[in-house]
Each structure stands twice: as structure tokens, then as C-alpha cells.
């Protein structure tokens, strides 16, 4: 190992800048990905075959191809049809579009795991289909999908390192630049790994707290203690 | 028949699109209108370009500044990945590239680019472990594993050395040096001045002094259709070389 503490300490502030970019990319892409994933997930269980089919094609194509290819297509491919995205926009579009496919399946599983009787009862009470989904099914489904969504968030945090191929100055790219500057591999990359961990832990912790808050069944034993 | 026609039409459409990037037109006028010269570079290649304390510096950065000055515009030195750097220029992400790039026929042809006149004479050198005694020239690489940075002229030069056992391709040179020091490879082939600069930061390896595998000329790629922009670039290079400034820049970054 050629780890040098002096290099590690000197470059850490620059890595921190990269960590902020990573966090920003992750939060923005996740927010878009969850919104898009919810729509696609609901489309996936739609009554209309065309809507269902379109959602399925999207999910299969995205899931069946690597994220790196999406990013390269968005950044280098689209200019050939007159759409010249900046690296940041292409990066966020790629990350969000990719996670939306996985999140859609998570939401579909959540929706389908809510008992059929719930939907029937809601409709029998005179709720419209959209109301039944919004007021009865989704609140129950959301509770179920929170753990896999947290997973998805942690994956996104690390997957965002792939946008370093578009030279967005996120954490991994910053690390690479410093490797070139200091001609030393381990000292900057140790900082990179440490910062990823430092970002993942509080995020997953936060999600666990949220899980406890919105899950009444898990709140009851806590009250008894 | 219809199918065949569709296929032909599709290819024709693609070729048309490829041949006319979104913002074609006279280069100088376009750059002046934008008020900024966009130079693409993989800023991980000291002493040509490196992010030092968060800012791009190096020989290429200084040269880019001279070109922007000649055009009367601001300089935007854009950090990009080496992978896809030529494609990015082709599709209009930048106005030109300055990234320690060797002039090759292949690069001009496959990306339909034009290169400026050479602005730097370089060559491929060999780096070995600090205590290495057995390797003194390219001949001694026979039967050895050699490391290179992927898709560089260093890789091409290593491929031409007869009898090399295996060529390992790395994303970045420091990764190759790390493997060199760990004993997984016997030597690294890369731009000689870059090895010299890198060896100043790390005493674990050294350049083979005076051993040059291939002489090379570095140039500035510009989109072929922007010949007027290329003319400005060539003029800056010529003027610079004629003045004392060029020697100063060389001394500043290469110490020679």
C-alpha cells in the first residue's frame, strides 16, 4: 500500500466538494426516479393494455441494458438527433430514468400486495378509481416499499459514480483527478470510499427512522416497552 | 423491398445527421459570438493538464489561454473523460481539444477531424522500478508484462515492441505505476515527458533516460469544417514558437 497521510489530509477538502456533487446528483435523481417510478408502477397495473405494455417495454429495456450505456447514449448519442444535453443533465436523466424502472417494479409489488378486498371495498364505498388508489392502496403500499426504496437510494448513491465517465466532478471523478495530480492511488481513493460510507450510513439511518414512524405495527411494541 | 428501402433511408438519415452537427458554421464567428472558447481536455495528465488544488493548470492550459486571447474571448477549459473525447468534439461539446493529443491519421479519419500544426515534440518513454537493473532499452521488454494507459499512443507503441508477453491496459497511469511498484508488471510505456514529471512525485519508479520508442507530435484537433478556426490556432502556435514565450512555457512545465 502506498497510503500517505499527508496526501490524504491535503486532498480531503477537494474530495468533500465531490461528495457534495454526488449527494446532489443522488437526491435530485432519486426524487425524479421515485416520481417517475410511481407513475410507471401504476401504469404497469393499469386496466388498459396499451399503458401496461408501454410500461413493461420501458422497464424491460432499461433493466436489460447497462446504466453506463444509457449515460453514453444520452450524452454522446443524442446530439446526432439535435439534442445536446450538458453532462449534468445527461447524468441526472440517466440516473433517474434508470432507477425509475427498478422503482416501478418496487411500487408494483407494493400495490399488488395490498389485499384485493381493499380496492373492492373502496370502490363499493363510492370512491373513484384514482381516489381508491391515492387514499387506500398507496398509503398501505408505501409502508411496504420503504425498505426496498431505501436500498434503491443506497444503490443510487454509489451508481452515481458512473457519471464520472461524463467527467462530472462528482466524488469518484474528483478522486481520479487527484490520483493524477498526486501520482498516488490509495490516499485519494481511501478518502473516496470513506466519504461514500459517510453518506450512506445517515441516509439509511434516516430511512429506518421514517419506517418506524409510519408503520403503526412496529410502533406498538415500542410503546409497550 | 419496402424493408430494404426503409433500411437505406434510415442509414442515409443517420449519415446526414452525423455529417451536420447541430451548430455547424464558420468557427471563428461562432466562437466570437459565444464570447467563450470551449476547450475539452481530460485534466488528469500532468504536466500537460492536471487539476491542482481544484484548478486546471499545465502546458496545454497556458496554450489554450493564448488561443482564447488571440480570438478575444474568454477561455472555458472543460474537464472531460479521455474515453469519448473525440466523439464529444465531433458532436459539438467543445470547439477544440487540448489534452496532450498525438497527431495520428487514424484519429483524423475515424472522427473526421483536422489537426493543427504540431505544438509539441514528444515521444514514448519507458518507466521502470527505481531499483531496476535488467531493463535498459526496449529490447529488454521481451517476455515481460508491460502496462499502458488505454487507447493512448503509449499502447500503440507497446504493441509494436517485439516479444512483449502481455500488455495490461489501465484507466490512468498512476494505477499502472502502482502495479509496477507491486511487481505485477515490469515496465510502463507512456509519454516520456509525462513519465519524467510523474517520477518527480514518486521515487518508486524512474524513466529510462534517453530511451524513446516512438517520436510523436502533439496537435490540437478541431472539427474539419471549421478550417477558419484551425487557421487561428496555427497562427498562435507559429507566433508562440517564434517568440521566447514558448521556451519559457516549456521550462515552466517540463523543467528543460
How distant is the Cα of B158 from the closest Cα of chain A, in angstroms? 21
| Residue with grid cell 404497469, as numbered in its chain | A44
Size of interface A-B (CB pairs under 8 A): 87
Please state whether the peptide bond connecting residue B172 to the residue before it is cis, i.e. omega within 30 degrees of 0.
no
User: For residue B172, what is the nearest residue in chain A, using CA coordinates?
Assistant: A180
What domains does chain B contain, in order, with CATH numbers?
Answer: 2-119+219-254 (3.40.190.10), 122-216 (3.40.190.10)
The Cα–Cα gap between A191 and A14 comes to 10
Buried b (16+ CB within 10 A) or exposed e, A123-143: eeeebeeeebbeebbbeebeb
CA A209 to chain CA centroid, nearest Å: 19
Residue B7, pLDDT score = 46
Q: Report the SS3 class of residue B224.
A: coil
Q: Chain B contacts of A84, Cβ < 8 Å? A: 22, 91-93
Mutate to test the interface with B, among A17, A81, A177 (most CBs of B within 10 A): A177
Q: Does A68 touch chain B (CB under 8 A)?
A: no
Contact A167 B178 (CB under 8 A): no
What is the per-residue pLDDT across A95-148, written as a single tens digit (0 to 9) for each? 999 999 999 999 999 999 998 999 999 999 999 999 999 999 999 999 889 989
Q: Does A1 touch chain B (CB under 8 A)?
A: no
Q: Chain A contacts of B171, Cβ < 8 Å? A: 176
What is the per-residue pLDDT across B156-207, written as a single tens digit (0 to 9) for each? 999 999 999 999 999 889 999 999 999 999 999 999 999 999 999 899 999 9
Contact B83 A176 (CB under 8 A): no
Phi/psi at B102 (5° precision): -75, 140
User: For residue A2, what is the nearest residue in chain B, using CA coordinates?
Assistant: B178
Q: Would you place residue B86 in the very low, low, confident or very high pLDDT band (cuts 50, 70, 90)?
A: very high
Contact A2 B175 (CB under 8 A): no
Flag whether the pTM goes above 0.90.
no
Q: Would you place residue B256 in the very low, low, confident or very high pLDDT band (cuts 50, 70, 90)?
A: low
Mutate to test the interface with A, among B58, B174, B180, B206 (most CBs of A within 10 A): B174
Tell me the three cell numbers of residue B136. 535498459
Q: Does A17 touch chain B (CB under 8 A)?
A: yes
The Cα–Cα gap between A211 and A224 comes to 18
Residues paired with residue B40 on neighbouring β-strands, in sequence order? B78, B97
CATH of A5-224, one of 1.10.3720.10, 3.40.50.12280, 2.60.40.790, 3.50.50.60: 1.10.3720.10
Give A10 or A167, the one with higher predicted confidence. A10
User: For residue A12, what is the nearest residue in chain B, using CA coordinates?
Assistant: B53
Residue-range domain boundaries for chain A: 5-224
B237-255: average pLDDT: 94
Whether the ipTM is more than 0.85: the answer is no
Measured CB to CB, residues of chain B less than 8 Å from chain A are 14, 17-18, 21-22, 42-46, 50-54, 78-81, 83-84, 87-88, 91-93, 171-175, 177-178, 181, 198, 201-202, 204
Contact A2 B80 (CB under 8 A): no
- 3-class SS letters over chain A: CCCCHHHHHHHHHHHHHHHHHHHHHHHHHHHHHHHHHHHHHHHHCCCCHHHHHHHHHHHHHHHCCCHHHHHHHHHHHHHHHCCCCCHHHHHHHHHHHHHHHHHHHHHHHHHHCCCHHHHHHHHHCCCCHHHHHHHHHHHHHHHHHHHHHHHHHHHHHHHHHHHHHHCCCCHHHHHHHHHHHHCCCHHHHHHHHHHHHHHHHHHHHHHHHHHHHHCHHHHHHHHHC
Strands B187-191 and B221-223: unpaired
Q: Report the SS3 class of residue B63.
A: helix
Q: Chain B contacts of A79, Cβ < 8 Å? A: 21-22, 91-93
CA distances from B211 to A106, A181, B126, B191, B193 (A): 59, 25, 7, 11, 12
The Cα–Cα gap between A167 and B83 comes to 10
Mean pLDDT of chain A: 91
pLDDT at B1 over 60: no
pLDDT at B10 over 50: no
The Cα–Cα gap between B189 and B139 comes to 13
Residue A219, pLDDT score = 57
Rg, chain A, Cα only: 21
Residue B31, pLDDT score = 95
The Cα–Cα gap between B187 and B164 comes to 11
Indicate the residue of B45, B92, B93 with minimum beta-carbon distance to A180: B45
User: For residue A79, what is the nearest residue in chain B, using CA coordinates?
Assistant: B91
The Cα–Cα gap between B237 and A62 comes to 47
Q: Does A2 touch chain B (CB under 8 A)?
A: yes
Q: Would you place residue A204 in the very low, low, confident or very high pLDDT band (cuts 50, 70, 90)?
A: confident
Rounded to 5 degrees, what angle do the CA atoms A5, A7, A8 make? 60
Which strands make up the sheet holding B96-97, listed edge to edge?
B74-79, B36-41, B96-97, B221-223, B113-115
Q: Would you place residue B17 in the very low, low, confident or very high pLDDT band (cuts 50, 70, 90)?
A: very low
Contact A177 B17 (CB under 8 A): no
Amino acid at each position: 500500500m502506498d497510503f500517505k497521510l499527508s496526501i490524504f489530509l491535503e486532498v480531503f477538502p477537494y474530495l468533500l466538494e465531490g461528495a457534495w456533487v454526488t449527494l446532489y446528483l443522488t437526491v435530485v435523481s432519486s426524487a425524479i426516479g421515485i416520481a417517475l417510478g410511481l407513475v410507471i408502477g401504476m401504469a404497469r397495473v393499469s386496466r388498459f393494455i396499451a399503458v401496461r405494455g408501454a410500461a413493461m417495454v420501458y422497464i424491460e429495456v432499461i433493466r436489460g441494458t447497462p446504466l453506463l450505456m444509457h449515460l453514453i447514449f444520452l450524452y454522446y448519442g443524442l446530439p446526432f438527433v439535435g439534442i445536446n444535453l450538458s453532462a449534468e443533465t445527461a447524468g441526472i436523466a440517466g440516473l433517474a430514468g434508470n432507477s425509475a424502472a427498478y422503482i416501478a417494479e418496487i411500487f408494483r409489488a407494493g400495490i399488488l400486495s395490498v389485499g384485493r378486498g381493499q380496492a373492492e371495498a373502496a370502490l363499493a364505498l363510492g370512491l373513484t378509481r384514482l381516489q381508491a388508489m391515492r387514499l387506500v392502496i398507496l398509503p398501505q403500499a408505501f409502508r411496504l416499499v420503504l425498505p426496498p426504496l431505501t436500498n434503491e437510494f443506497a444503490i443510487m448513491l454509489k451508481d452515481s459514480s458512473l457519471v464520472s465517465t461524463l467527467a462530472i466532478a462528482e466524488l469518484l471523478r474528483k478522486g481520479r483527478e487527484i490520483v493524477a495530480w498526486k501520482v498516488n492511488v490509495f490516499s485519494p481513493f481511501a478518502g473516496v470510499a470513506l466519504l461514500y460510507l459517510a453518506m450512506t450510513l445517515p441516509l439509511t439511518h434516516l430511512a429506518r427512522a421514517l419506517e418506524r414512524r409510519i408503520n403503526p405495527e412496529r410502533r406498538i411494541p415500542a410503546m409497550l416497552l | 423491398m419496402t424493408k430494404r428501402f426503409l433500411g437505406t433511408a434510415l442509414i442515409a438519415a443517420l449519415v446526414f445527421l452525423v455529417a451536420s452537427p447541430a451548430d455547424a458554421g464558420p468557427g471563428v464567428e461562432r466562437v466570437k459570438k459565444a464570447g467563450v472558447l470551449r476547450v475539452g481536455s481530460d485534466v488528469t495528465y500532468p504536466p500537460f493538464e492536471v487539476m491542482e488544488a481544484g484548478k486546471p493548470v499545465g502546458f496545454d492550459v497556458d496554450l489554450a489561454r493564448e488561443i482564447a486571447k488571440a480570438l478575444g474571448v474568454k477561455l472555458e477549459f472543460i474537464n472531460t473523460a479521455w474515453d469519448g473525447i473525440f466523439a464529444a468534439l465531433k458532436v459539438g461539446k467543445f470547439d477544440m481539444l487540448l489534452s496532450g493529443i498525438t497527431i495520428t491519421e487514424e484519429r483524423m479519419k475515424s472522427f473526421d477531424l483536422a489537426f493543427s500544426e504540431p505544438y509539441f515534440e514528444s515521444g514514448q518513454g519507458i518507466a521502470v522500478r527505481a531499483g531496476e537493473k535488467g531493463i535498459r532499452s526496449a529490447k529488454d521488454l521481451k517476455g515481460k508484462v508491460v502496462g499502458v494507459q488505454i487507447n493512448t499512443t503509449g499502447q500503440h507503441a507497446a504493441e509494436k515492441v517485439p516479444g512483449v508477453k502481455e500488455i495490461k491496459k489501465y484507466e490512468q497511469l498512476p494505477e499502472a505505476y502502482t502495479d509496477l511498484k507491486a511487481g505485477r508488471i515490469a515496465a510502463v510505456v507512456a509519454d516520456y515527458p509525462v513519465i519524467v514529471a510523474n517520477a518527480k512525485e514518486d521515487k518508486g519508479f524512474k524513466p529510462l533516460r534517453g530511451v524513446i520508442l516512438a517520436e510523436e507530435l502533439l496537435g490540437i484537433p478541431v472539427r474539419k469544417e471549421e478550417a477558419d478556426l484551425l487557421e487561428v490556432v496555427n497562427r498562435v502556435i507559429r507566433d508562440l514558437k517564434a517568440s521566447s514565450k514558448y521556451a519559457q512555457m516549456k521550462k515552466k512545465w517540463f523543467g528543460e
